[in-house]
Amino acid sequence: MSSEDFAIRVSNVSKCFEVYDQPKDRVKQAFYPTLQRITGQKPKHYFREFWALKDISFEIKKGETVGIIGRNGSGKSTLLQIICGTLYPTTGSVETRGRVAALLELGSGFNPEFTGRENVYMNASVLGLSDNEIDARFDEIVAFADIGEFIEQPVKTYSSGMMVRLAFAVIAHVDADILIIDEALSVGDAFFTQKCMRFLRKFMENGTVLFVSHDTGAVINFCQRAIWLIKGLSKFQGEPKEAAQKYLAEYYESFQGESAVTSKSHLGEEKSSAAQLRDMRQDFINSSHYRNDIELFSFVPDAASFGKGGANIISVLLLDKADTPLAWIVGGEKVKLIISCLANINIISPIIGFHVNDRLGQPLFGDNTYNFSKHAPLIISPNEKFEAEFEFMMPILPVGDYTISAALAEGTQQEHIQHHWVHDALLLKSHSSSVSTGLVGVAINNIRMRVK
């Protein structure tokens, strides 16, 4: 690690826990190895080693927001506790610069017998505030938490949502330099979550955030970098979008086996030639400046993908209402998305779906065929082609780059085999747009203002 402008530096951190099969083994471990050494015997261990973390290293710069993703048991919470100082690493070291405020598992740092008021003073003092500073901020903390008269009640009477409200209210008012948040915001009502998100976005302008979540969309949206952990190992550090894609592929491979090597020989064979593609803009030559012009690129057969390989997605096309493939789309107009597939084995109850993603990889909207075919599922034979058609109004997209990801599964919405998931199968580029705020827009026919 060469940079000195860091907020958090983790160097070769490993953590081993001693796992005992039965309580008496703890007693044996406390006395027997010492006696064995005294008598010249080789000491024996009465526990099994469980390495929750193995040689983890990374650096987070000041003002950077970094996400950590991984399945349950991957070591995320253990790593955060080591960074916060509530656990010590077996090997390696951690350095932090600045005041660290952490929101870990529910109720951490709270004494259930103390009132909310008493816990506020205790937590804030642990984070470095004096009694006078807490007095000056107490009313703001209570207002942020918005738990009313429960501030004077023991914390053991709180719901999980109230606990999060009070804990977040404290860390939001201690002038921290580094915020560490572990999944806690998944609990609570939508209004408070939105309040927390507004605070986080403001804090991110200057502060450092380490954010742990199973919600890859939130990691993509908030973070500049992401770290993917699996079984205590750092498998990837880099762009959040790529980390989320790898995490998704590993999740499916963990229960359906490794992805099959996708043969590229037949992929994209239905791609239309440039001469066949239509420019929808020609229908709107005299339209107003509110028009949204979206350039559409060809299906990318070599896009990153994963899946069992029982069937392949061979084409993704956008058509107009006359079924003509499009090279340009106008936002707010009706289009058809056609996803064509080829079966390699017998496929029972196929599900075809799609996502439209922004440049960061955050899904904007999407759908799949399950609800439309679950009562009359298809049975597809080997080498048989099949397709899904989605007809919808293309929303108005702000200027920028977008992609369409396509997926093909077999089974039900809850239990299925993912045969082929293609990231960024189709590329779109919005060149002009009337959208001033938000992720997508709707067709606005006119805007005017008048005095009445």
Looking at the structure, do residues 243 and 281 belong to the same domain, yes or no?
no
Specify the CATH number for the domain of residue 73. 3.40.50.300
Q: Specify whether 14 is located in the same domain as 145.
A: yes
Q: 352 and 271 in one domain?
A: yes
Residue that the structure tokens 């939130």 belong to: 218
CA 384 to chain centre: 36
Which of 392, 393, 390 has the alpha carbon at shortest distance from 442? Answer: 393
Same-domain pairing of 305 and 237: no
**Up-side HSE of residue 128: CA atoms within 13 Å toward CB?**
11
Residues in the chain: 452
Domain of 308: which CATH number? 2.70.50.60
171 belongs to a structural domain:
yes
Q: Same structural domain for residues 274 and 392?
A: yes
Number of structural domains the chain divides into:
2
What end-to-end distance do the CA atoms of the chain give, in Å? Answer: 65
- Looking only at the bridges linking them, the beta strands covering 65-69 and 225-230 are parallel
Looking at residue 302, its pLDDT comes to 84
Asked if residue 379 belongs to a domain, the reply is yes
- The per-residue pLDDT for 106 is 59
Residue 317 structural domain: 265-432
Q: Is position 343 within any domain?
A: yes
Per-residue buried b or exposed e for 122-147, using 16+ beta carbons within 10 Å of the residue's own CB: bbbeebebeeeebeebbeebbebbeb
Identify the pLDDT of residue 185. Answer: 64
245 and 109 within one domain: yes
Residue 438: inside a domain, yes or no?
Answer: no
Nearest residue to 232 (alpha-carbon basis) of 104, 77, 92, 87: 77
Judge if 52 and 158 occupy the same domain: yes
Residues pairing with 334 in the sheet: 393
Pair (287, 317) in one structural domain? yes
Residue 422 CA to residue 86 CA, distance in Å, equals: 42
Return the pLDDT at 263: 46
Same domain, 317 and 374: yes
- The confidence score (pLDDT) of residue 435 equals 74
Within a domain: 437? no
In a domain, 442, yes or no: no
Tell me the pLDDT of the chain (452 aa) as tens digits: 455 688 999 999 999 998 988 888 888 888 888 888 888 888 888 889 899 999 999 999 999 999 999 988 899 989 999 998 889 999 999 999 989 988 876 556 788 899 999 999 998 998 888 999 999 999 999 999 888 889 999 989 988 888 888 888 998 898 899 999 887 666 666 778 778 888 888 999 889 999 888 778 888 888 999 999 999 999 999 999 999 999 999 988 888 888 875 544 444 445 444 447 777 777 776 665 567 888 888 888 888 899 999 999 999 999 988 888 989 898 888 999 999 999 999 999 999 999 999 888 888 999 999 988 888 889 999 999 999 999 999 988 888 899 999 999 999 988 899 999 999 999 999 987 777 677 888 776 676 788 98
User: 355 with 389, same domain?
Assistant: yes
Looking at the fold, whether 274 and 234 belong to one and the same domain comes out as no
DSSP 3-state assignment of 374? coil
Does residue 362 fall inside a structural domain?
yes
Q: Is residue 256 in some structural domain?
A: no
Domain shared by 217 and 320, yes or no = no
